[in-house]
A and B are shown apart, each in its own frame.
Chain A
Amino acid sequence: MAAVAQLTLEDLRPGLGWRKQLDKLFVIVGLLVMIACLAILAILFLDLVRDGASRFGWDFFTSFPSRKAERAGILSAAVGTTMIMFVTALVALPVGVAAAIYLEEYAPKNWFTGIIEINVTNLAGVPSIVYGLLALGLFVYQFGLGQSVLSAGLTLALLILPIVIVATREALRSVPKAIREAAYGLGATRWEVTRDHVLPYSTGGILTGLILGLSRAIGETAPIITIGALSFIAFLPPSPVSGEFPFLNFEWLRSEFTAMPIQMFNWVSRPDQAFQANAAAAGAILLGMTLLMNALAIWIRYRFRKRINW
């Protein structure tokens, strides 16, 4: 009987050394890449801040755009962005969550559902200008909503819908099967299980997904240019609240508007050098808002995860 050669530790040791080196090398490469990315982000941010430093101040936030660079501010742009984000969130949240609930809890696992799932992920890859064209034809002209805050909000809601759906599905999936079984065992219907158990415990993940979607939408320029955002408006959309009955109105939805990315683009395109500072300042603010929203999303996810331990 031929004896199988026994590998001793001395035989293995040289190879072991090389494998450990590879391990350390990977850690170093990973760290370097991460530092490079963070450095690029930091440099970009600091560059914007430095260029726009002269313009930071209360009057920058409260002035309308003007022909004079020193007097131009982002009031209308900031208000426009805020209103659009509000509409986007209001539309994307219920539609996205409902679609995710259907796909996750109710849809049977057949080829038709498979096609829907594939297409939801594909939607995330559609270029945003295509959404703009869709919105122009559908919302602005076909539905007659005009070049308004409402159209912009609906367009961006469509844009971030895949993000909300995917994040919601992940959150729904993270609810353990044992909880659902316990609820079914007591005689609950599928909707009761979803409403009383699955949805409440998925709220963290859903909110995180929504905020991540919004932080993407806040910087989208192409779709809202296509549907006709103006770039020099010296007025604000009408206020939703007023002194007389009914105290809430929806006139602001039909109003023309501008948004932060549009304003930046407009300023950067001007030949006057002074406007570059304005654009840089607005860019820094926009970047800051995006980072803040992401931080909020992470914090919410952390808080919700702490509360629930399965």
Chain B
Amino acid sequence: MQGEQTSPSAGPPSVSITVEDRKAVRANAPKARAEALNFWYGSNQALKGINLSIPEHQVTALIGPSGCGKSTFLRCFNRMHDLQPDTRYQGSIMLRPDDINLVGAGVDPIEVRMRIGMVFQKPNPFPKTVFENVAYGLRLRGVRNRTDLAERVEGALRAAAIWDEVKDRLSDSALALSGGQMQRLCIARALATQPEILLFDEPTSALDPIATAKIEELISELRQHVTILIVTHNMQQAARVSDFTAFMYLGELVEVGATSMIFTNPGKKATEDYITGRYG
């Protein structure tokens, strides 16, 4: 069972495949699949042989103690490691349906980043206006027409559930917003370019509980538009927000499965120990 993804309707294989079964399979068809992924910082191996499917239009959470490699793994998806010197990938992350290896040597990291969006731990809006923050990604892609920009910026701000709060403040500085609003702005900024996968790197660890709750609600809604991969050190958040959970430890993937299964009936003792708080 290690490294394999279980579908929510796990059980004895049915004799006849019903329409519901097919829908379930398609709903959980992988958007990306990491195969034998290894990663080195210099001579230090941070990821060891990760095999993981990320189902489409679902929220997958990565949990594990500090230093287990979950952020490292997340950042492989949009090639952020390429910005540091002396890093090396081995293996592949295949993106469906094009079957492109995201970490392949021949694949341009800029192209990868244009298809995969990221929201960071500490909200980092640009010191520009609210409008310009969201429009920046679109401008990079050559959208110049003002009406187009305005439309798509509004769409992204609505999708990030912040439109009502900023619609009168589009020309104000983004830094005047509260922490939670800034993070939702960053989500809008990432959504504006219609990414295929949205990566969240501990998005609420710097926010108060009310802002956290709003963003967790937002993440749950966003799954209909985009596949989500979220790293969180907060297990309760993983339990609230995700459909599938993967537990990592010391650079290896220990177990993955439907969230409800992992938290109520984990297969491995290491997972159970972590979830019950025997170690942090």
Contact = CB atoms under 8 A, between A and B. Distances in A.
B190 A187 contact: no
Given A108-B85, A109-B85, A187-B114, A182 B126 contact: yes
Contacts of B80: 181, 184-185
Contacts of B225: none
A181 B120 contact: yes
B124 A178 contact: yes
Contact-residue size bin, chain B (C-beta under 8 Å from the other chain) = 20 to 34
B137 A181 contact: no
B175 interface: yes
B78 A179 contact: no
Contacts of B190: 185-186
Contact of A309 (B85, B117, B175, B186): B175
B113 A182 contact: no
Given A109-B85, A196-B136, A309-B175, A183 B126 contact: yes
A179 B193 contact: no
Interface residues of A, number: 21
Interface string A265-288: 000000000000000000000000
B120 A182 contact: yes
A106 to B, nearest CB: 13
A187 B113 contact: yes
A301 interface: no
A292 to B, nearest CB: 30
| Chain B CB within 10 A, most for which of A178, A187, A192, A310 | A187
Contact of A186 (B85, B127, B140): B140
Interface of B: 78, 80, 83, 85, 110-111, 113-114, 117-118, 120, 122, 124-127, 136-137, 140-141, 175, 186, 189-190, 193
Interface of A: 108-109, 176, 178-179, 181-189, 192, 196-197, 201, 308-310
The 9 nearest A-B residue pairs measured at CB: A187-B114, A178-B124, A187-B113, A186-B137, A185-B118, A182-B124, A308-B127, A187-B110, A188-B140
